[in-house]
Each structure stands twice: as C-alpha cells, then as structure tokens.
Amino acid sequence: MDKLKTEILDLAKSAQRASLRVAELGSGEKNAWIKNTCTLLQERREIIFEANRADLEMADKKSVTGPIRARLDLSGSRWDDMISGLEQIAELEDPVGQVTRMWVRPNGLKVGRMRIPLGVIGIIYESRPNVTIDAAALCVKAGNACILRGGSDAINTNLALGEVLRDATTKTEVPREAISVISMTDRSAIDHLLRASSFVDLVIPRGGPELIRHVTEKSSVPILRHDAGICHMFIDKSAQFEMASSLILDSKLRQVSVCNGLETLLVHRDTKDDLLPRILKTLLKSGVEIRGCPEICRILPEAIPAKESDWTTEYLDTILSVKVVHGLEEAIEHIRSYGSNHTEVIVTESIKTAEDFLDRVNSSTVGVNCSTAFSDGFRLGLGAEIGISTSKLHAYGPMGLEGLTTEKFILRGEGQIRE
C-alpha cells in the first residue's frame, strides 16, 4: 500500500475515533473551541496573512487575475466576516439531541426522531481559504469530525488556518484529531479519501464542474455536490420594467463571482417591443456583455451571438446569456435542459404563472419576484451555510447546521412486543 494512501487512511481513522467523542460533547464545550479559534486567529493574524501573501504571489506568477484571484485574498472585509461568522456559529442553536417529533402508537409505544451527527465529513473545495474556518466550525458545532482539502492554490493559507483550528482545541474537550487539513497537494490524496467509506460518512465537493465530475466518478463515500450555479431568471410578459431591471441587475452584478449569480435570462417574446429593449439597454449601460439568441441579436446589435456552450456556462463575470422564449413552457424546458438545479426565479405579475413556476421547476431554490442572490443560507435564515447543495438527497439547496446531522428513530416502550 502506498505511503499517501496509508497517511490518508490513518487520518480518516483517527477522525472517526475523534468523531465519537465530538458527538457526545455539549454545546458549551463545542462553543469554547469556536471562541478559542477566534482568539487564536487574531493572535496569529500576521502569520496567516504572510501565508496568504505567499498564495497570492503564487497566483500572480501564474498570471491568475480577476474574480479567481480575488477569492484567494483573505484581507479586507473577508477577514472580519470570517471572525464574525465564527461568532455567529457559536450562537447558533445546537441541533444535536433535538427531538424533532414524537408520537404515540396505539399500543402506547412512543416513537420519536432525534438529531444526531453524521460522523466524519470530508470537504473538498477550491480557492476561498475562509471556507476552511467556516466549514470546520459548522461541522464540529453539529457534532462531527471533519477532513478539509482546499485547493492547492490556497495551500499556505489553509495550512496556517488548520493549525489555528487544531491548536484551539487545547484546554477544550474537542479532540485535536476532530479537525484535519490535508497537506498533500497531490490530487490522488483526494481519491484515497473518496474510497475511505469505512471511516468517512459524507464528502462535500464545492467547486467547478471538473472537480464535481471527478468526485462523483470516484467516490464510494456518499457525496453532496455543491456545484456550479447556472441560475436563470424568467421575465414573464406581465413583468414590470422597474422590478424586472432591479432584480436582474442585483442578481447579475451584486457580486459576480458567486454561485447564486444570474447567468441566463429568459424573456417572454411578447415583451420584445417595449420591455425587452429597455432591459437590454439597461444591461449594456451597466457594463454587462450580452450573449444572445438570434432574436436578441436582431434587437440589439451590440449582443454577441450565443454558442450552445453559453447556455451551460457559469460565467462568474459581467456576462449574461439572454434568450427569447415563447412562454412559461419553453422557459421551464430550457431550465430543465441547461440548468444545474441551483436557483431559478420568475418575474411576473400573474398569480397563475407564478404558482405554475413554483410548482413545476424543481431546482433547489425557486423564487418569485426576488433576486437570485437570496439563495444563501444566511439570507434565508438558516444562520450560516456550509454551501449550496445541488444534490437532491438529504439537503437540497442552501445547507446549514441541520444538513450536517441526520435523525435516528428513538422508541420508548414498557415491554411492548409485536406478536
């Protein structure tokens, strides 16, 4: 057995042992570790930024620019957000041990569902080193051990953050082995983790299509994909200009490098004499590049003809693909064919069309008359989020603490038999 495999399996085994202890900790004990982490992050601020600068320099050498480079950077508001995120997680209600329902059977047997941790959770993510902190805090708060594997482009920052997370266990009940950051940048480290189904209960891949495809193919551990967002907005014929343009601009431009950003706009053909040209002009004026279907290109000479691949591209940039459709039916058909089960929104004044869209589109978040940017655990009131699942099982859509737990059945009897 090769050395790397042995190392990953050893790490997974000790995570599993640690997970049994984490599962039995009370909220106070887990929160003490989160608070230690906050303190230690501030104390080691300089060390961490030094590591982060090393990663940024590496990116510059590879000529990485734009949103991809920006994601790597831990400075500015991102640092403060990371700390306040931790403080919020400490304040979240502990899901472990909650009895969510309890009922009594005709024979007097009491039956309930109790929330329990999943066990060991592997998180495989790209860029964004702050995920290291968020993900570890959420996993442990929900009573789990975690194994973290960030992108090789953020390896220095991730390892520095990992040391903080582990050192913060000192003088707490949380075992050090409950948090591991995989230091090997070799991609086969991921593959060994994905085959460790005896020790790992869940793997969450967060990243681009290539990572997701690789993990789906290789994993014998259950996975919840946190996939690209090809988010759609459908502008119905009854939509009003003010609301439509404000929702489109917020969904596309609020922050372009996020998975809940708008990537494809579908517009009802009945709007093409008035509403549609006004929307297109507003987009152009806001600096958005438009890749359009032939009809859009006829209306707007500045539009670039969309290729087939544009309908499945997550631009993460100031680019929007726009298509004219005959109505709700064609919009739904397009979303089913090209979407990624992430977030879709309709803008309409018609109650019938709104309800049809809500009922029939089965993406993980489906909205009426709101920005796609609300597809976010914090904005929806989940307290925090580990990511946005596009896998239908277990947790579909923004996934908070609850998604990191499961429910067992508990039975309270007085000697009941079935015979």
* Positions in 297-336 near a second copy (CB under 8 A): 336
Kindly tell me the burial class for residue 56, based on how many C-beta atoms sit within 10 Å of its own C-beta (0-12, 13-18, 19 or more): buried
Q: Kindly tell me which of 207 and 377 has the beta carbon lying closer to a second copy.
A: 377
User: Cβ 366 to a second copy, closest distance in Å?
Assistant: 6
Strand-pairing partners, residue 291, are: 304, 321
- 163-222 residues in contact with a second copy (CB under 8 A) are 197, 201-202, 216-217, 219-220, 222
Burial of 299 (0-12, 13-18, 19+ CB in 10 A): middle
Residue 24 as a binder of a second copy (CB under 8 A): the answer is: yes
Smallest distance, a second copy to C-beta of residue 58, A: 32
Q: How far apart are CA 249 and CA 262, in angstroms?
A: 9
**Residues in 245-264 at the binding interface with a second copy, rule: CB under 8 A:** 246-247, 250, 254
Q: Say if residues 119 and 201 touch (Cβ distance below 8 Å).
A: yes
In angstroms, what is the minimal distance from the CB of 82 to a second copy? 20
Residues 377-416 that bind a second copy (CB under 8 A): 379-381, 391-394, 396-398, 406-416
- Taking a C-beta distance cutoff of 8 angstroms, is the pair 382, 402 a contact? yes
* 347 three-class SS: strand
The burial of 21, by beta-carbon neighbours within 10 Å (0-12 exposed, 13-18 middle, 19 or more buried), is given as middle
What is the secondary structure of 319-344 as a DSSP string? EEEEEEESSHHHHHHHHHHH--SSEE
Least CB distance to a second copy at residue 75 (A)? 23
Kindly tell me which of 301 and 415 has the beta carbon lying closer to a second copy.
415
**Between 208 and 222, CB nearer to a second copy:** 222
Among the listed ranges 45-53, 69-77, 125-133, 243-251, the one in contact with a second copy (CB under 8 A) is 243-251
> Which 86-145 residues touch a second copy, going by CB under 8 A?
97, 103, 105, 109, 111, 114, 116-119
352 binds a second copy (CB under 8 A): no
* Interacting span for a second copy (CB under 8 A) from 72-80, 83-91, 297-305, 366-374: 366-374
Beta partners for residue 262, in sequence order: 231
Number of residues that bind a second copy (CB under 8 A): 71
